[in-house]
Amino acid sequence: MTQKVAVLGTGKIGEALLSGMIRGGWAPSDLLVTARRPERAAQLHERYGVEAVSNAEAAAAADTLILTVKPQDMGTLLTELAPHVPADRLVISGAAGIPTSFFEERLAAGTPVVRVMTNTPALVDEAMSVISAGTHATGTHLTRAEEIFSGVGKTLRVPESQQDACTALSGSGPAYFFFLVEAMTDAGILLGLPRDKAHDLIVQAAIGAAVMLRDSGEHPVTLRENVTSPAGTTINAIRELENHGVRAALIAALEAARDRSRELASGNG
């Protein structure tokens, strides 16, 4: 791995990505970071042995620039970077809702841009990073993005037109599971269990179910039916979930998240 990569605006996700790259075999000498606060830059240098530089220096020195600032700060960053980014640099955006055209309009003509939507399980190397090519990005550029983001989990290529749906389903997805665990823990307390025991029971059930979904090859309906015996406890619970419209509520929630991603992309923040 001789390519030099710079992570710009290194917050939690940026740091998780940096850490995953190093564990995956990238040399700290091939990695650069930028941070808004000097003390944060010093912390990253001390923690990972990477060089902390300015945004302009990163643009001049790195072959690949990974932009991890917040979406509302991306325009300002691109204004700063534009004079320093040659058209042969690969620019990877990790900002939710911002299309590759936003970058292409502000950078040198022909600059390859790859859009990546990852999620917070990157912090524990279990992310799903969804990767899309801009107008000038090639298969080689997509492969480079996959090499970088595979250090923190799985990757999936999709057309950019599907990014808003992926944001709703996967980018926001962990929050839905956290919400469900929170609700089920409260139910456990209502049923007479201490909070810590209810929490442990639900978390382990979630982990076990996720591993079965990933490894068994079975459809989720089959797995659910295997737990659902006639006139048993599970079918009574499933009936109540259906009576309260939980399935319909989930579909509506994901549509709302998709629509909000489209609003952000159009600048209606």
pLDDT in tens, 200-219: 999 999 999 999 999 999 99
Cα 47 to Cα 41: distance, rounded to the nearest angstrom: 10
Can you give the pLDDT at residue 207?
A: 96
Helices 12-23 & 38-48 angle (0-180, nearest 10): 20
Mean pLDDT for the stretch of residues 30-46: 94
Strand pairing partners for 132?
Answer: 115
Cα 27 to Cα 45: distance, rounded to the nearest angstrom: 13
Give, as one character, the DSSP assignment of residue 14.
H
Q: Which two tokens stand for residue 186?
A: 């409260």
Cα 117 to Cα 90: distance, rounded to the nearest angstrom: 16
Asked if residue 267 has pLDDT above 80, the reply is no
Give, as one character, the DSSP assignment of residue 63.
S
Cα 94 to Cα 49: distance, rounded to the nearest angstrom: 23
Asked if residue 159 has pLDDT above 90, the reply is yes
Can you give the pLDDT at residue 1?
A: 46
Can you give the pLDDT at residue 266?
A: 72
Model's pTM, two decimal places? 0.89
From residue 180, how far is each of 10, 171, 203, 269 by CA, in Å?
30, 16, 10, 27
Angle in degrees, CA 225, 153, 196, rounded to 5: 60
Mean pLDDT score of the chain, rounded to an integer? 94
Give, as one character, the DSSP assignment of residue 109.
T
> Which residue type occupies 259?
D
Q: Which two tokens stand for residue 203?
A: 């978390």
Reported as a single tens digit per residue, the pLDDT across 168-203 is 999 999 999 999 999 999 999 999 999 999 999 999
Alpha-helical regions (H) of the chain: 12-23, 38-48, 55-61, 74-81, 100-104, 139-149, 163-166, 173-190, 195-215, 220-227, 233-243, 246-265
Strand pairing partners for 157?
Answer: 131
Reported as a single tens digit per residue, the pLDDT across 231-258 is 999 999 999 999 999 999 999 999 999 9
Cα 179 to Cα 182: distance, rounded to the nearest angstrom: 5
Can you give the pLDDT at residue 268?
A: 57
Can you give the pLDDT at residue 2?
A: 64
Reported as a single tens digit per residue, the pLDDT across 68-114 is 998 889 999 999 999 999 999 999 999 888 999 999 999 999 999 99
Question: Three-state DSSP class for 85?
Answer: coil
Can you give the pLDDT at residue 95?
A: 87
